């Protein structure tokens, strides 16, 4: 890496992705939740919600995060876009 590569967007993006993955692993570990169990839980959440509403799975984002007030606590955060056509009639 040379002087002129400072702030390379590709390297910055890779660095941020790696950093976020590490954070997720640490948070999952603190929550006593293996990556496999977390993926299974996400799949089941999507399956159950899909019974009632049409979910846009392309923009779906489900994560485990630390509470900002208490780093010993974790929470499940879900951003689940629902398509306009509702399944319930």
Joined together, the tokens standing for residue 57 give 């799975």
Joined together, the tokens standing for residue 84 give 């306009």
Overall domain count for the chain: 1
How far is Cα 6 from Cα 62, in angstroms, rounded to an integer? 33
User: Is residue 3 domain-resident?
Assistant: no
User: Is residue 77 domain-resident?
Assistant: yes
Joined together, the tokens standing for residue 8 give 């390379």
Q: Which tens digits make up the pLDDT trace of 8-40?
A: 566 677 888 887 777 766 666 666 677 788 889
Q: pTM (2 decimals)?
A: 0.56
Q: Which tens digits make up the pLDDT trace of 42-79?
A: 899 999 998 889 988 888 888 877 777 776 777 888 89
Strand partners, 62: 78
User: Is residue 67 domain-resident?
Assistant: yes
Q: What is the span of the domain harbouring residue 49?
A: 8-86
**Residues 62 and 77: beta-carbon distance below 8 Å:** yes
How far is Cα 7 from Cα 87, in angstroms, rounded to an integer? 47
User: Is residue 68 domain-resident?
Assistant: yes
User: Is residue 43 domain-resident?
Assistant: yes
């Amino acid at each position: 890496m040379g002087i002129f590569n400072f702030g390379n967007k590709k390297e910055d993006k890779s660095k941020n992705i790696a950093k976020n993955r590490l954070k997720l692993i640490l948070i999952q570990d603190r929550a006593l939740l293996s990556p496999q169990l977390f993926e299974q839980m996400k799949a089941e959440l999507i399956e159950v919600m899909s019974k009632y509403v049409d979910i846009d799975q392309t923009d779906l984002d489900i994560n485990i995060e630390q509470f900002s007030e208490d780093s010993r606590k974790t929470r499940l955060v879900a951003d689940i876009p629902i398509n306009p056509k509702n399944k319930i009639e």
